Amino acid sequence: MTTISEELLRRFDVSGPRYTSYPTADRFVEAFTAEHYAQALAHRAGGSQVGGGAPLSIYVHVPFCESVCYYCACNKVITKHHDKAAEYLQALVTEMDLTLAHLGRGAGVSQLHLGGGSPTFLSDAELSQLMQALRERFRVNAGAEIAIEVDPRTVSVDRLKHLRSLGFNRLSFGVQDFDPQVQKAVHRQQSFASVEALMAAARELGFESTNVDLIYGLPLQTPESFARTIEQVGALKPDRIALYGYAHLPQRFKPQRRIDEAQLPPGSAKIAMLHSAIAGFLSHGYSYIGMDHFALSSDSLAVAKRQGRLHRNFQGYSTQPDCDLIALGVSAIGRVGASYSQNAKDLDAYYDALRQGQLPIERGLALSRDDIVRRAVIMAIMCQGRLEFESIALAHLVDVRDYFKPEFERLQELADQGLVTLEADAIQVTAMGWFFVRAVAMVFDRYLQADRSRARFSKII
């Protein structure tokens, strides 16, 4: 493994975007309205025959949770009143119908993802109702990835059986950490044994892929305690692992104010956790996909990485080709054509728009030509760790060295620090550079370079 100096750690102890999109969501504007989104949907519909064209990805946001996890930065509604789900499900159906009025029916779907919140807040009957509504309105392709985020505290083996019967073939378990003291500090307590039993059941039921989410940088975590969690997860052998650095932004996310900042590990400890996690998961047979994802070498994500077919979307790294994303539910972010859009973040505002027969768009962005060029560059760096100048030149008709002349001056500094190699016709992220790949991508972020205001983002290490 690469040795990272303390000086380099201090130099890059900065905040920056995760680049699940470019431009990033903080650049969305309220001037982008429901009418603009409707036009984007209609433009897509007009560009292909009914039922033809590139497949869609669908994301459904279910905001409800029974209890709050102090680290959480998701849009959520904390409630033990499960009757609230009925109104929300009806609103989702209304939103689907309003969307299809512009998009048309029959578009194929290659990827469907239920996230939250906790989608498993919904009862079995409610999950059945939701999946039936989706299948009645969209054509889910054979072999489509159908995934759901699972809170291990809210599911049983019988619930997993029901999910499998509904067509779900991928599960993502929110674990974060197995250390009891860390779990108590973030108000999310669950045993290793319970997760182990669910993982075993998922394999027996024939789920194609299981993922475990982990977070490093939580209160009371140490490199030693997190190493134990790494070994436990390695023993579970999920197909994929998502390892996120905790972003402490209490000014933006109220639940995080319950975390004692004095208990948060310093940057040097966080990078030690990341370093040991990479070493630990590699020793358990995982491939390092990049930034925050690991996969068993036989998993489709690892295969896509080796073949240069990796993509990145709002759910992180993906094997799915770059495609339009229809986002349903409060606060959900979608992408159609050269535009991004986000639904109302407040549940009442979301409901109000739908009652008035309007798409619940609160803000969004129509991408400029420069945005599209820079998005291609940033995604190449984030996904392949390599930028081939010729591919950008052919796709976007730009001379890369001339178009990005100021950026190349800043890249030279990263090259001097061993993070990238500047070739005659390409930029290559080094093994050490993968630890700081967000810093490499940030060089090409025109918005970030313009205002230098990064406090709203998480630390890149």
Q: Which pLDDT score, from 0 to 100, does residue 452 have?
A: 57
Query: Has 259 been labeled as part of a binding site?
Result: no
Report the alpha-carbon angle 424-428-434, nearest 5. Answer: 165
Class of the 27-328 domain? alpha beta
Query: Has 74 been labeled as part of a binding site?
Result: no
Q: What is the mean pLDDT of each run of 10 residues along the chain (461 residues)?
A: 65 81 94 97 76 82 94 89 94 98 90 94 97 96 95 94 98 96 95 96 96 96 96 96 89 92 90 85 88 88 87 82 91 96 97 98 97 96 93 95 94 94 95 86 90 59 61
- Is the domain covering 1-23+368-461 a CATH 1.10.10.920 domain? yes
Q: Which pLDDT score, from 0 to 100, does residue 51 have?
A: 45
Delimiting residues of CATH 1.10.10.920 domain(s) in the chain: 1-23+368-461
Query: Has 34 been labeled as part of a binding site?
Result: no
Q: Which pLDDT score, from 0 to 100, does residue 49 have?
A: 43
Answering whether pTM is above 0.85, one says: yes
Instruction: Return the closest-CA partner of residue 176 out of 149, 148, 209.
Output: 149
Query: Has 69 been labeled as part of a binding site?
Result: yes
Calpha distance 179→229 (Å, rounded):
7
Query: Has 73 been labeled as part of a binding site?
Result: yes
Query: Has 247 been labeled as part of a binding site?
Result: yes
Query: Has 188 been labeled as part of a binding site?
Result: yes
Query: Has 72 been labeled as part of a binding site?
Result: yes
Query: Has 323 been labeled as part of a binding site?
Result: no
Q: Which pLDDT score, from 0 to 100, does residue 320 have?
A: 79
Query: Has 384 been labeled as part of a binding site?
Result: no
Delimiting residues of CATH 3.80.30.20 domain(s) in the chain: 27-328
